[in-house]
Amino acid sequence: MPNILEIRNQFPILKTLVRGNPLVYLDNAATTQKPQSVIDALVKYYTTQNSNVHRGVHYLSNLATDEFEKSRKLVQKFINAEKDSEIIFTRGTTEAINLVAATYGRSTFKEGDEIIISAMEHHSNIVPWQLLETELGIKLRVIPMNDDGELLLDEFEKLLNEKTKFVSVVYISNSLGTINPVKYIIKKAHSLGIPVLIDAAQAIHHKKIDVKELDCDFLAFSGHKMYGPTGIGVLYGKKKYLEAMPPYQGGGDMIKSVRFERTIFNDIPYKFEAGTPDISGGIALAEAIRFIQSIGYDEIEKYEKELLDYATEKVTEIPELTIIGRAKEKSSVLSFVIEDIHPHDIGTFLDVDGVAIRTGHHCTEPVMHRFGIPATSRASFAIYNTKEEIDVFVESIKKAIQLFK
């Protein structure tokens, strides 16, 4: 069992008081808080390392470049990629998926081709493909799910055919907590020669990810979901795809030479990193990875399962509350609705007690439509949360119900 008090002490924001109440931060699916080591890395960069990378010969530029590229190598090892050139720094998962859609998709798909996604995708794994529907005339096909929020894999297999050219699915649903059988999905798609992208935004700080073991062709995740800074993310892609894909944006660093007659593009990963990157974010991302590694995924998964099981048991005792998403394989997300009370009202009331949850459609409107609801309240847990915080959360819900009766 990890020392949770020791872990909590690494997060200065957790000492915050909200209207005199201790902050109970249960909005980790939206963004995680940052340990002092990540904050220190950002401060250190701007106080002792600040310079542009890759294009300088002076001391600070070389120092910043070394630290930035060390982070890329650490990300490579963290997800067990074959080469560090397969690691592209982006602004986050959204940009990473858009990059693949705009480059691989636009250069590969043609009218009548089909792309498979799932019914529980975040908007960032729906809209980029819809844009290609409009532009290229491709067809978006959707894997349905059951009432527990589990994908219907037999229906997925029926969707696969000779027109299928790409599969893009979420690893863990941000609005339901469902852990999808992505390895099975990848294997089935690969049996027909179909490449697969995995949206790992909600998985990266909960589960160990080995891209070689999964054999995914692309994987996207965000730094801020894994105790790192906002504005930095990662796209992993197999070398054979990245080298064949055209650039995403034009500008500095993604070129080898520029003439008015012709431009020669840089090698991967720089071909996809036009302009000045988020240098401080990239460097601080390495500290977020080290924080996760210092605890270990086995301990993280075990403890977070305890929290989810405890919270599920406690809220199940509230008769007016219905859990949305009851998959057998779930991660640290608890979405719910309360009879005759809008989720926004629940969230506002809980905030008075210092409890931070997320309310709304969670950028998954089709999920809400599937369950016939406008929105949910969502509590989401991280390694620094405690059962005592869950008790405060549950008692605050009970008070809210009494108030609205």
Per-residue pLDDT of 286-330, as tens digits, reads 999 999 999 999 999 999 999 999 999 999 999 999 999 999 999
3-state DSSP assignment of residue 194:
coil
pLDDT of res. 405: 73
- pLDDT at residue 109 is higher than 80: yes
pLDDT averaged over the chain? 97
What dihedral angle (degrees, nearest 10) is formed by the CA atoms of 55, 59, 65, 71? 180
Segments of 81-179 assigned E as strands: 87-90, 114-118, 139-143, 164-170
347 contacts 355 by C-beta, under 8 angstroms: no
User: What per-residue confidence (pLDDT) applies to 2?
Assistant: 86
Banded model confidence at residue 41, pLDDT cuts 50, 70, 90? very high
In this predicted structure, what is the pLDDT of residue 397? 98
pLDDT tens-digit map of 200-241: 999 999 999 999 999 999 999 999 999 999 999 999 999 999
Retrieve residue 60's tokens. Answer: 């600070």
- pLDDT at position 404, please? 85
Residues belonging to the chain: 405
User: Does 4-30+296-404 match 39-293 in CATH topology?
Assistant: no
Q: Which of 131, 136, 363, 373 is catalytic?
A: 363
Residue 57 has a CB neighbour count (10 Å cut-off) of: 6
- Locate the domains of the chain by residue range: 4-30+296-404, 39-293
Quick one: tokens of 341?
Answer: 């009370």
**363 catalytic per annotation:** yes
pLDDT at residue 381, as a whole number? 98
Report the CATH number of the 4-30+296-404 domain. Answer: 3.90.1150.10
Whether 121 shows a pLDDT value over 80: the answer reads: yes
Q: Is the pLDDT of residue 396 over 80?
A: yes
* Topology (CATH) of 39-293: Aspartate Aminotransferase; domain 2 (3.40.640)
Residue range 134-151: average pLDDT? 98
